[in-house]
Structure 1
Amino acid sequence: MDFIKTTESDSNYDGLEQMSVKDILKNINTEDKSVPLAVEKSLPQIEALTTVTVEKLKNGGRLFYIGAGTSGRLGILDASECPPTFGVSHDLVIGLIAGGDSAIRKAVEFAEDSTTQGWEDLKDYHISEKDVVVGIAASGTTPYVIHALKNCNDNNIITGCITCNTNSPLSREAQFPIEVVVGPEFVTGSSRMKAGTAQKLVLNMISTACMIQLGKVEGNKMVDMQLSNDKLVGRGTKMIVDTLNISPKQASELLHKHGSVRLAIENYKQNGN
């Protein structure tokens, strides 16, 4: 199969340094508008990976994201938001990045080129057939990610990927590939831009759909969210007021008593307190 790295193709714009701030921002925005449309074309692929992930999670499995650079950071970001948003364990959705935690803030030279470390990082978590591993790489050529998925396949572990090129080595390795082709970046090769936005959108879709399917949302509310700051306590109180039609004072008391929106609502409906 032909493989063309559109993520590395020349920008549709030139002479960027001669543009005014207004024109730079306008042109970036013009390019960004194309990203959701590219994601839309990949909805069947996203559905396939999400469906199998839900099945694994319902049966005690975990979801792993693995990537390098921006892609790795985006996976870690999505994973880290699941516990506070949906009240799940930090061990349910796990993000791994080439170079380890220090690479979250600072690039670790050549970490993404390792053909063995990705699998070693997954083994640290006692990866098994119950789990799902999603490789994230805009180019689809990152050795750290490709070889991690190859080892997963060899060990009967479900694999998916999120990439922004078609027919990439990563897509060919993944059992459930997602290819969101966003085309050339505004700054040639700067895949933290449109490609990064596309990856973030897809990650939002996968994790949110999984959590809804796991029962972590009722109606349209995050009833299991962690009450980790005053803003979230206020949001939780309002949820209870709206659901039970009681006063804010009573809702606040219920929330502090039971520690979660779900438990507050359930106990009130059952016992009136």
Structure 2
Amino acid sequence: MPQQPEAPRSDLRADCANCFGLCCVALPFAKSSDFAADKAAGQPCRNLQQDFRCGIHTRLRTSGFTGCTVFDCFGAGQKVSQITFGGTDWRRAPETSRQMFEVFPVVRQLHELLHYLTEALALPAARRLHGELRAALEGVEQLSLADAETLVAADVPAIRGQVNTLLLEAGELARAGVPGKRKNHRGADLIGAKLKGADLRGANLRGACLIAADLKGADLRQADLIGADLRDAELAGADLTGSIFLTQAQLNAAKGDATTKLPPTLTRPAHW
């Protein structure tokens, strides 16, 4: 039977009402098809209001800011705002702004790892790894609650490498239950690939570039999709139930319809 992850932890979901608009200030973006203007890191987006809300939130796509609709901080914004900096925002205390903007992307990466580790712990096939996965989760969790100085100094690439080794093994164990030969497209360049109706059950699609790929009607059950780029991928009629490490942001970047089958923990994007 397909293995379904448990519902994501609420603290790993973005809560913009309790964030100081950090993704709209701390991160840079360049004028492109995803963003209608250039913005430097540390510079507030022109659409950010005084109450830290987005002035064009309901029309981001039509206003040229599609990139904002596919970003997920995994709950890092509210943690940095309310825990790391104790609810004091960068406008009232401008002396905290530089450090706050440095801390945010660090905690965002840590929360992303927490999200994946939580999902891996819900995979019955990866039970023999649960002890190591739980220890890794507890270590990352503890670091995410550290003070700003500790967070800025953290060796995030090393932590990601250690966690990724566990996630890779967990994914392999989960995919092993799929009968037959499983396709390996790890890191593959599949831009615009014609994969309509393809049998990709249990496939390794970790880090694959699937931009604008035709996956209509494809069977992606129990496929490992961690890090796969699904921007503008056609998912109409595709079956993603039981897929491993699929995120809401990946779905938001893709194109699907009412016939696309999704894991129960994820929601159908409004623009579909």
TM-score range, shorter chain: under 0.3
TM-score normalised per structure 2:
0.25
Greater strand share, 1 or 2? Answer: 1
Higher relative contact order (Cα pairs below 8 Å, separated by 6+ residues): 1
Greater helix share, 1 or 2? Answer: 1
